[in-house]
Amino acid sequence: MVFLATLLALPLLSYASVYPRHDDHPHTDSNPLPSTWYHDSNHPVHALFRRGDNSDGSNYAAVGSQEWSNGFPPPWPTNGIDTNSIPSKWVDALNDAISRKAVPDIPVPTMGKDGNPAYPNGGDPNSPEICSATYQCRIDGDVWDGPAGTVALSFDDGPEAGTNQLLSFLASKNQKSTHFLIGSNILYNADSLKKMFDQGDDLAVHTWTHQYTTTLSNLQVVAELGFTMQLIHNSTGGRIPKFWRPPYGDTDKRVSAIAKEVFGLTTVIWNQNTADYTLTETPPYTTPEKIQSDMKKWMTGPKSPGLVILEHELTKECVDAFTAAYPLMEENNWNVVSLASLLGGNVTYQNAASNTSPVSLNDLVNAKNGPQPNANGVAANPSGSTVGAGASQSQKPSGPSSAGSPPVSAPSNTPSGTSSASGPLATTISSWPSILLAVAVTMLWT
């Protein structure tokens, strides 16, 4: 019997050598997020262990658990994210974009005395080379307006104190929304994040520490976007966000290009601002009455372009301002739609149509080139373009053809990486043939 079991196992042992066990080779990658942390989507292991259509089949740590938060930057780090912790795969994607001159070589500004980014040597923020959104310059491919007759509903800075009140109101109206989330806030408010997702709202990126992104280096921009995306990904069954909104609306051609070229993110700004985030300041810049007056003006005004209104879920006061104005949207026959669903053509993630649709297994930097889901939740053949929904190839942000940012080096002193559940990327099965071997031997002996 033992001899027979051995003979039957030999083909499996030979095939298993193609997919070595995770513990039978040295770890040469020193990054906390391994560059390859899953099997190819056509690998047989996914047929054996897929958990259902609502995830990509990987086993993710429970949202809010210690395992779930391990390996990510701390919330609100005093000196920003340590760029030595960036996975090498993200750095490689950045350097590839730089080598293709897809990321323009724009000098990094510093904060000026007026509270706005100031570019070195008197650089013009409205020049074609820079095109800073802080100064109202619109970059081709970035989104400022909605389709005619629509309100592209979204809220910034969550999860925060006002989130649960907001979610309750939205549920009472059967209204979906997009939440531009801060990575640091997610770590503090895991239950609110889970409620957002379970309620069917769309999740998007608002960076890890809410800084003026144009004042950050290339690597810092990658870290701010990447770790926030990764935390959303790990919290939603593997979904990869499709949209991001820069804090303070601060982006330029360099930053928008990094978001698009490295992570496939479409940049979203706004065309109306409630200033609701100042309601709790002393003195406030605005008042509930002023917001209601502005909302009435916008809702009774032209239907084109559609409205992309800056609103927040920071406080009760912010949410109260929205709930007071919501009837105006209905009374004036606006089509109120979650921003990500509206702009994405009912496809709200790069690898999934919605919170309940099938999810394609992919990583952050490759999803933009992989099969794209359609509104029915079925993956379509990739077009070959790295430009996401809402922007054509001709709209891709680019700088002067002769300019290019210098490449950056992958960190050499990062902590040892792991693909176990203790890191930010969840454990996956690393050798299915050995499992089949064990099953075969057990059946023979019994």
pLDDT for position 371? 78
pLDDT for position 379? 54
Which domains are seen in the chain, by residue range?
Answer: 83-395 (3.20.20.370)
Q: Minimal CA–CA distance to 253: which of 390, 392, 102, 394?
A: 102
pLDDT for position 338? 99
Give the rounded percent of residues in the chain with a pLDDT score beyond 70.
72
pLDDT for position 13? 36
Find the DSSP H helices in 148-284.
163-172, 183-188, 190-199, 218-235, 253-263
Alpha-carbon gap, residue 398 to 114, rounded angstroms: 28
Q: In what order do the strands lie in the sheet with 243-244?
A: 266-267, 243-244, 202-205, 178-181, 150-158, 335-338
- The yes-or-no verdict on residue 10 having pLDDT over 90 is no
For residue range 24-78, list pLDDT tens digits in order. Answer: 333 333 333 333 333 344 433 233 223 344 789 899 999 999 999 999 999 999 9
- The yes-or-no verdict on residue 307 having pLDDT over 90 is yes
Of residues 397 and 353, more confidently modeled: 353
* Structure tokens belonging to residue 67: 């395992």
Of residues 225 and 36, more confidently modeled: 225
- The yes-or-no verdict on residue 312 having pLDDT over 90 is yes
Percentages helix, strand, coil for the chain, rounded to the nearest 5? 35, 10, 55
Active site residues: 156, 312
Residue 261 identity: E
Residue with tokens 């389709």: 147
Question: What's the pTM?
Answer: 0.76
* Structure tokens belonging to residue 353: 């149509």
Alpha-carbon gap, residue 98 to 261, rounded angstroms: 9
For residue range 122-177, list pLDDT tens digits in order. Answer: 999 999 999 999 999 999 999 999 999 999 999 999 999 999 999 999 999 999 99
Of residues 371 and 414, more confidently modeled: 371
Judged by average pLDDT, the poorest of 36-40, 147-151, 332-336, 344-348 is 36-40
State CA 93 to chain mean position distance.
16
pLDDT for position 136? 98
Alpha-carbon gap, residue 12 to 435, rounded angstroms: 10
Burial of 23 (0-12, 13-18, 19+ CB in 10 A): exposed
300 Cβ contact partners less than 8 Å away, ≥ 6 residues apart:
328, 332
Residue 67: C-alpha distances to residues 22, 332, 423 (Å): 19, 48, 7
- DSSP secondary structure string for all residues of 394-440: GG-----TT--PPP-PPPSSPPPP--STTSSS----S-HHHHHHHHH
